[in-house]
Amino acid sequence: MKKAVRKGFVLVVSVVVVIMLIAGCEEQQLPSAKKSRLIAAENMQLKKELERRSKDIKGLKELHDREIEKQEKLLAKCLDEKETWKEKSRQNIRNQVNGVVDAIMEQNAKLRRENEKLKAQIEKLTATKPRPLE
């Protein structure tokens, strides 16, 4: 008899536990109206936040694109200036080399003329000076 009472008690407890589980599951599956409104409000807020972030991202992308374009133009300008300065430097070097060569050539010509004069003077002096007898 004790076994039958025990079995009955276990059966009743099991039925109560199953009913409680079913009732608990139903509550979780069917949210209350208040909870539904809270979830809907949160969804609306999240959608607004998402739209705001999307606008921010779009604005930042446009700013980034403008900055990239600005930097590319600046780079092109710098490369042009670099080429200009490189060409001016080459021209300056050519001018300096030509100036030095011209100065050297002029000095060379002057020294040749002076040499010719000195040779003429030497010949004149040697021609007028009596030679010692040997």
CA distances to 83, 89, 91 from 97, in Å: 21, 12, 10
Give the N- to C-terminal CA distance of the chain in Å, as an integer: 174
Say yes or no to pLDDT of 66 above 70.
Answer: yes
> Average pLDDT in the 60-70 region?
97
Say yes or no to pLDDT of 130 above 70.
Answer: no
**Confidence (pTM):** 0.45
Specify the pLDDT at position 69: 97
What's the 3-state SS for 42-69?
HHHHHHHHHHHHHHHHHHHHHHHHHHHH
- Over pLDDT 90: what percentage of the chain? 54
Specify the pLDDT at position 84: 95
